[in-house]
Amino acid sequence: MSCTPGKPNFRLLDVNVGWSVGSANNLAGLNSDSGMYLAQVVPGALDPNQILPYLPPARLAHGCGECEWYLVTPSPPESFLLHRGDCHWRWQHLHDPCLRHPFQDPVAIAVWSDRLAVADRGANAVQIRSRDGARLLATIPVALPGPLALAPDGELLVTSAASPAIARFGPGGQWRGSLAAPLPASGAVLAIAVDSGNKIWLVEELNGSWTLWSAAPGDAQFQPAAIADLEKAFSPTGLVTASAEGFCFDQNALRGLDVETCFSWYGRPLSQAAIVPPPLPQLQTQGQLLTTALDSGIPRCQWHRVRIDADIPKGATLSVAVASTEDPTAASQSDPSRDPAWKSFPAGVPHFSDWTSAPPGSTDFLIDQPAGRYLYIRLRLTGDGTATPVVRRLRIDFPRVTSLERLPDVYRESPKAEDFTERFLSLFDSGIADLDTLIQRYPALLDPSGVPGQLLPWLAGFFRIGLDATWTDDQRRQILASAPQLYRLRGTAAGLQLAAQLVFGVTLSIQELSSAGPWGSIAPDRRPSDPLPLLGRPARLGSVRLFGRTRSRFYLNSSPLGAAPLRSYGNPDQDPFAAGAFRFRVLSPPLPGNSPQQIQRLNNLIAAQSPAHTVASVRVGGTGFLVGEWSAVGVDTAFVRLAVPVLGSAGNIRLNRMSVLWSDPYCFKGGTALGRNSVVGRGLRVG
């Protein structure tokens, strides 16, 4: 029961509150947040198009190169070993030239290092050959061999239609026994592979559905695996799809082509339209949920409305029926034979004639049932084997409350008139209630953390924030959540740093040149009688540049004629600061990717967030050493102990040729030490 401060006036059915299941047939997702749907015919079946890019069919093997593939063609009429490399569209023969037909009925191939293995079911053998196919290294007798795999350590795994065990062989064909884990199910093995961690992966087909299994070394049995685990274990091979007609590669510009390239299982080119993708996992075509008696707690309750949150795709249907009763302990009056299409499903407790069905396809309808404290609900889901309805939530409102309460009593004099007026007014009351709900929920649309990603550009429009197409949804949410703070700090150094941190994840160092420029002055301290403070900065020789007044502007009795400009504005004492006024420097660590596009985006961001009257210079660091703020130490620099310097014709030191001389060996031992006996960027100090 849904709890409210007052009397309950609605009931929810979902994964959080519970579905109040009386019986559920051919349904799945009752414990999932995504909702309830038709179950699979084979539990755990996966979409083949999600498996094929990582685990190709047994007749295909991916080589070392980006586009290198090996294919063993079926028989009849003839079987060949084909090779394709360098993203070329043509397959070439790859087998012993002395044998025109080296295989009888090959069904699988595997490649590793300098060798390949072919399972020949017609010969009841597995051949191990050199990678170029020219030399036959070993022949292993195996009854009805199937898909096989070569592990990273060279071990060969062979499946067989005649045995549930997976045989193990050494690189030279030596027998090593069988895996501890047998084949997981009675389906046909489509592919087997071993990842870099020696974990074994299997693809099986049962009743037209594909299942994925995995087993770590030493496991006693295979366990069902998910697509997410498969994506972590293997890299995409470039295979898009495969079926009985052939297979297709996704060869984009990086792989040499910009189209999908398709071939038959004999290596002949095909059009993409000729390849029929493998079917999706088969679903049940019928499913039903019957609830227990839902208690309103109100004797002779007039149940009001049912609202369903559901998706109904093409090829699927959802039908809802309700029945009310005052006594939940009454004997069952159901009769499954009254509905032949659903005779294999439970009919429920109420009588066949007591059920009232909602209009077809309706997800919001009024309950037209006699008054009763308890209510039964029946959901029936149908599909075409690939499509299914998804039901996330049901809401049942009670008791019936309409705007009839605000009309004169004359509208209640006749029971039939009262019932009609209530149902008629409910149409308008429902629409008004929906509008009220939208108004109440409207503030939630302004929460960046709660709205879908598609609404983020619309929400950014309120703040006049342009969202870059390269930003992820998480970045956009962070920027929108920080918009008030960004506007408060806009035009300041802190605002620039915050914007860069949100967009690029880096911390900028911002230097205002007017107050941090390398200017100095030699002047006495300010006297108390001076009307203005002395703005010059104490100068140290070798660390700053002196700013000469006589050349920055004309001074009487100080500047030579024609050597200094006449300026009638500003304070002469502020000339050192005016030289860098309204200018600042931005130092950034390497950006993610550090591409020219990223650097340009950083420049655009700084230009948009800086005051209009300022000029910024941006410097983006590299990946080398960074000493302090002003010095970068070379390329490929290593701080290591230097060789002992020896002067003379037989030594390794020549003066004035970038030499490093050590101090007395009793005072300091070692090479260059920053801050002790050398200074980076200021020449050479000999200690």
Full 3-state SS string of 472-541: CHHHHHHHHHCHHHHHHHCCCHHHHHHHHHHHHCCCCEEEEHHHHCCEEECCCCCCCCCCCCCCCCECCC
Measure the CA–CA gap between 518 and 541, rounded to whole angstroms.
12
pLDDT (0 to 100) of residue 223? 92
Q: Which of 617, 584, 615 is nearest to 602 (CA)?
A: 617
Maximal C-alpha separation, the chain:
126
Name the phi and psi angles at 578, rounded to 5.
Answer: -65, -25
Whether the CB-CB separation of 87 and 107 falls below 8 Å is answered with no
What is the H or E stretch that residue 399 is in? none
Beta strand ranges found along 292-434 (DSSP E): 294-295, 305-311, 317-325, 356-357, 364-366, 374-382, 390-397
Which residue is it, tokens 């994840």? 505
Give residue 79's identity as a one-letter amino acid code: S
Which residue is it, tokens 């009743």? 207
pLDDT (0 to 100) of residue 166? 93
3 state SS of 217: coil
Running along the chain, 687 residues long, what does each successive block of 10 average in pLDDT? 61 94 94 93 88 94 83 84 76 65 86 91 92 87 94 93 92 90 85 93 88 91 92 90 90 52 89 86 93 92 91 94 89 85 91 90 87 94 93 90 71 74 74 75 79 86 82 87 88 90 88 65 53 52 63 75 75 68 85 83 88 87 55 51 70 66 50 48 41
3 state SS of 617: strand
Measure the CA–CA gap between 267 and 112, rounded to whole angstroms.
22
pLDDT (0 to 100) of residue 636? 46
| All structural domains of the chain | 10-39+283-401 (2.60.120), 48-235 (2.120.10.30), 632-687 (no CATH)
Measure the CA–CA gap between 412 and 416, rounded to whole angstroms.
9
Which residue is it, tokens 């990842």? 195
Alpha-helical segments (H) within 391-472:
415-441, 456-462
Output DSSP code: residue 674: B
Whether the CB-CB separation of 19 and 289 falls below 8 Å is answered with yes
pLDDT (0 to 100) of residue 56? 94
Q: Are strands 509-512 and 305-311 parallel, antiparallel or unpaired?
A: unpaired
Measure the CA–CA gap between 419 and 581, rounded to whole angstroms.
82
Radius of gyration for the alpha carbons in the chain, expressed in angstroms and rounded: 40
Whether the CB-CB separation of 281 and 210 falls below 8 Å is answered with yes
Helix 493-504 and helix 473-481, axial crossing angle in degrees, nearest 10: 160
Whether the CB-CB separation of 308 and 361 falls below 8 Å is answered with no
pLDDT (0 to 100) of residue 146? 94
Measure the CA–CA gap between 100 and 98, rounded to whole angstroms.
6
Please state, in angstroms and as integers, the Cα–Cα distance from residue 594 to each residue in 517, 591, 616, 636, 671, following that order. 28, 5, 19, 18, 34
| The pair of three-digit structure tokens given for residue 617, joined into one six-digit string | 């210079």
Measure the CA–CA gap between 227 and 241, rounded to whole angstroms.
16
Whether the CB-CB separation of 520 and 536 falls below 8 Å is answered with yes
Q: Are strands 305-311 and 390-397 parallel, antiparallel or unpaired?
A: antiparallel
| The pair of three-digit structure tokens given for residue 278, joined into one six-digit string | 């493998």
Q: Which of 306, 308, 348 is nearest to 325 (CA)?
A: 348
Q: Are strands 286-291 and 269-270 parallel, antiparallel or unpaired?
A: unpaired
How many Cβ atoms are within 10 Å of 388's Cβ, its own excluded? 28
